[in-house]
Every structure is written in structure tokens, then in C-alpha cells.
Structure 1
Amino acid sequence: MNVLITGSNGLLGQHLLPIFLQDKNYSVVATGRGPNRSPLHDNYIYEPANLRAPGTAQQLLDKYKPDIIIHAAAMTQVDECEKNKDACWDMNVGATRNLVQAAEKINAYLLFLSTDFIFDGLNGPYTEEDPANPINYYGTSKVAAERIVQNSKLAWAIVRTVLVYGVVADPQRSNMITWVKNNLQQNKKIKVVDDQWRTPTLCLDLAKGCKMIADKKATGIFNISGKETLTPYDMAIKTADFFNLDINMIEKISSKSLAQPAARPAKTGLIIEKAEKEFNYAPHTFAEGLEIVAAAIPASR
């Protein structure tokens, strides 16, 4: 089967590639903005594409005729989405609409990546049936994109996830683990919020969960995340302990003190019983995730 992975330069995209490449049942086409930034370059096709541009998605799908599309491309920086709403809408909604319309013409299966930020955070953690009520523009854009997918003529799946962490092959990009590690190693104090709760997700687990769903061409909404409910402060302390760094350099703060452009839901997290039951999905613990991330961090960092 032919699979197309959008957003292949991103954190999830760079974890999806090796998982699909290891399965000889798949021929892989990857697309992203600009040149290929994955460390893998063999046995698949990479084609840069701007899915926001009219006709680009159709040209891409006509050329490669994927049976399965994993749509991981998105604008995910929450504050940037709040400050640049047109760009956010174009990427998260417009590009999704273009891809759906093109996919309908070739009858492809579409797996769309969504987020816990579609919820208001008042009653977390959430199941797949809980109603969306976003409190920031990023969440609003993802709800709109979800509805485009749901109202399409396609066989589709929506995968919602939470606070994804892992290592990407780009030294300019950070994640929660490397940010804490790097700052504390340089004896820099950090401030971390303790009034937001999430079920942080190891990117490797998310990628495997997506493949489990795609393999079966399962349809519907699926929560794929970790199981432990942690605050960012909890994550920072666990990270410092793991790397034997000074936890006294970590200051616990309220999110209200940050004055961020976009509001954040207080308590989200996802209930993953559906994925556990239907796909035997079993995420790593955060402690196990730290070991995996540590092994993947280049020694130079």
C-alpha cells in the first residue's frame, strides 16, 4: 500500500517515517515544507509541498495515489496561532480542506492528527465522546479541521493526543525534556507551571498508535497519549532527577504569571481505554520515556 505522510519534517513525522519504512507492506511518500530534514533518506520519496496552495494537494495525490494519508502537518505553536490567526487557519483548516477534497477524488483513507486543546480543561481527562469547547485559536482551528474530516466522504480516523515529547533531528528545535536538561546543565534557573495537568505522550508511542490505526484502516476518533497525569512542573522535576540535576533550580509558578497570548486549558489529558481495547495500545511510562529520549539525545547536546 502507498502511504503519504504530511508534516514529515516535524516531531511526529520524523517518528512515523521509520515505523512505516520498517513495514514492507508500505511504500512511503513524505511531504513537508522546504527540504527534507529527516535523518532518513533511503527507500522512500520526499517531495516538498505547500498544502495551503490551491491545487497542490490534488497534484500530489494524483501523482502518488496514496491508499492511506497520515495528515500530521499543522501549525501547533499555540501562542503563534493566537497572534497569527490567518496563518493558523490557512495551515490547520485550509490545508486540511484541500487535502480532504483531493483525497475524496482517489478514495484514500485519511488519518488526521488533533489535540487535547479542543477542550476547555474544566472536566479533564477526556474521552472520545466528550464535546469540544476550545478556549484558544489553535483549538478552534483544530475543531474546524476535525469537522471537515468528519463531514467528508472518506473513510477517516481522528487521533487526538497531548503534550508530545521526543527528540527530532534538528538542533534548533527543543522539547520539554531537552529544555529542562540543557538549562539546568548550564546552571540556569527555570520557571515551570504547576497548575496545568496533561497526559504527556512519548512521540514514539504516538507514531506506533497511528500505525496501529492505519494498519486496520480503523474509523472514528481515537485518543492516543500517555496514561499518567502530570503537570509541566512534575515533568521538570522527574527530568532533573533522571539526569541527576539540581531540582532547586526549578521554580514552581502559576500559569497566570506568564501572561501568554493564548489561554491554556487547566486540566486536559485523555482517557485511552478505547485504544487499549481495540489496538492493545500500551504507552510507555514517563520514566521509560525519559530513558528513550535520553538515549536519542546526541552526545553533543
Structure 2
Amino acid sequence: MKTILVTGSNGLLGQKITERILETRQFRLVATAKGINRYPVKEGYTYAEMDILDPEQVRQVVEQYQPDAIIHTAAMTNVDTCEDQRELAHQLNVGSVQTLIKLAEAHNIQLVHLSTDFIFDGADGPYDELAAPNPLSYYGETKLEAEEVIKNSRCKWTILRTIIVYGIVSDMSRSNIVLWAKGALEKGAPINVVNDQWRMPTLAEDLADCCLLAVEKDAQGVYNASGKDMMSISELVTRVADFWKLDKSLINEISSASLNQVAKRPLRTGFILDKTIRDLGYAPHSFEEGLAVLDKQIKLGSS
């Protein structure tokens, strides 16, 4: 049985990977994050405190548990924060990867790294795995640099690129566009939503499955791992409103230019998923199926 070490295990994707491993018992899990374990179930796996920015601590944890694979979910993903805090963004998104690569090379560990559609400029999405990157933001630049560092390494590596991950963590502490839209519309609050950015939103459970498929199949190379439905952000929010029967008249469509965001966003990304479906057996939910998964979890949580 393979041992998987997960970085950023308190985050949305990290918690879903924990959940999946506890359900299937297919792997041994070492969950790691900075600070205490925030996942509600504490049995059935090992938790180790690990600050990804402390190379010595990372080395000690990796050498103690000797994983077969590391799934690296920890990152700074707030696009505007990355623009403002460039040094920290680089440390988290590139420096941490360099630390893990050295250990993966030394101990023959598979490194599964999460990347993003923001390495592209959005001029001609959807993209396949061989499309030429051209990031518009510092966040995109750091994620692309991390990919290049990995590709030039001697370790076994898998890069999974994803888009807008949505889902629910146990304590509901992390928001994402689906929960934000649902929450605002339920309160009767009008919301401004861009109508000129196109994405393929990804259910966190689907991405967790893809991470584990990459380890199970010893996959090497770049794979696209997003949802399968392409939509504008305004359509995404409208579909959230339709699903939960909320008031769509509260949705005010605006252009990206009117937002004055710190970092520039690509207009049309999206991924071609054929390779991942064929090689890994990836089977993402439709957007409405994903919302139904959330709805069930919300009802279970409130019962």
C-alpha cells in the first residue's frame, strides 16, 4: 500500500483528499499543514504539523514518514494578494516546490503538483496540455515557474492543472465562488458578476479523485483536471441561483474592466480533458451534479 503525504491538508482540496482516502482505504495518509489539524476526523491517518516554508522541518517530516508520493496542494492562490505580496507568493508557490523536489529526487518520491489555468492568457481557451503558456498575473507567473522547475527536475512528477475549485470544508471556513454567490443571494444582497470571463469550475471531490488516480497509476507528465462544463462567471452564478431557486434579479452583470482588480485575469480559459479521461480514468461531474453534491453536504451538516 502506497503512503501519500499531502501538503496543505487543512485546505479545501487537502480535506477532500483526506476524506477520499478514509473512504477507500486505498492508501496510507500523512496529512500535513501549518498549525493544528482542522479536519474533524482524527483517526485512520497520521497528521504532522509542517510549515512548507521551513525546509528543515519539511525534510524531517518527509524523511520520518518516507512517502511514496507527495501531493502538493499548499499554495498562495489569491490572485490579487500574490500581486501585492510578491516575495511571499514566490516563496509559497515556487520555493516550496524547490524544497519538495530535492526530497523527491533524493528518496524516489512521486511529486503530484497542483497548477492552474492562470498560466494562460485566455486568448484562445480551452487549452490542451501542450498549449503555450503566457500568464497575465504574478500568481500565474509563479505557478508557471513552479511547473518549469518541476519539468527540469530529476524526480518522478505529475502536474495537474485545474480551474476554480469549489466545495465545502467541514467547518465552512473557506469560501469560494459557489458558496459566496449562494450566501449573498440567500441574504437578498445584490451582487456584481463579470460576464466576460469563461471558466470550467471544478468540484473539489473530482480534483481529489484525480490526485489519487495520478498516484494509483504512477502518472507522469502534465494533465488537465477541471470540471467539464464551460460557462461565463455570470452564467455560473445564474446556474447557482437556478439550482437553489434564488432570486436572479439580484445578479448584476458587469465587465472585467469595470472591476479594477489589482491583477489581470485571463478572459477565456477552460481545458480539453481528453488525455486525463483516457489515461487516468478521470470522470468529472457536470456542474449541476456538483451542486447536488454540495446540497447534500449542506443538508447533512445542518441536520
Instruction: Give the TM-score band, short-chain normalised.
Output: over 0.9
Q: 1:61 to 1:258 in 2, by over 3 A?
A: same
Equivalent residue for 2:215?
A: 214
Distance 1:254 1:168 in 2: 31
Equivalent residue for 2:170?
A: 169
8 Å CA contact 2:201–2:229 kept in 1: the answer is: yes
Matches within 5 A, 1:37-116: 37-116=38-117
Structure 2 residue runs without a partner (length 5+): none
Q: Which moved more, 1:14-23 or 1:258-267?
A: 14-23
Alignment-mate amino acid for residue 235 of structure 1: L
Equivalent residue for 2:256?
A: 255
Distance 1:25 1:239 in 2: 34
Distance 2:14 2:281 in 1: 22
The percent identity for this pair of structures is 44
Equivalent residue for 1:282?
A: 283
8 Å CA contact 1:14–1:168 kept in 2: the answer is: yes
8 Å CA contact 1:61–1:103 kept in 2: the answer is: no
Matches within 5 A, 1:189-200: 189-200=190-201
TM-score between the two structures when normalised by the length of structure 1: 0.97
Q: 1:24 to 1:183 in 2, by over 3 A?
A: closer
Report the secondary structure of 2:123's partner residue. Answer: coil
Equivalent residue for 2:31?
A: 30
Moved over 4 A (4+): 298-301
Equivalent residue for 2:294?
A: 293
Report the secondary structure of 1:140's partner residue. Answer: helix
**Residue 179 of structure 1, CA deviation:** 1.1
Report the secondary structure of 1:87's partner residue. Answer: helix
Equivalent residue for 1:265?
A: 266
Alignment-mate amino acid for residue 70 of structure 1: I
Report the secondary structure of 1:160's partner residue. Answer: strand
Deviations 1:274-300 (A, max 9, x none): 011112222111111111111112655
Structure 1 residue runs without a partner (length 5+): none
8 Å CA contact 1:8–1:30 kept in 2: the answer is: yes
Equivalent residue for 1:127?
A: 128
8 Å CA contact 2:12–2:174 kept in 1: the answer is: no
Q: Which moved more, 1:178-187 or 1:105-114?
A: 178-187
TM-score between the two structures when normalised by the length of structure 2: 0.96
Q: Which moved more, 1:176-185 or 1:117-126?
A: 176-185
Give the length in aligned residue pairs: 301
Equivalent residue for 1:137?
A: 138
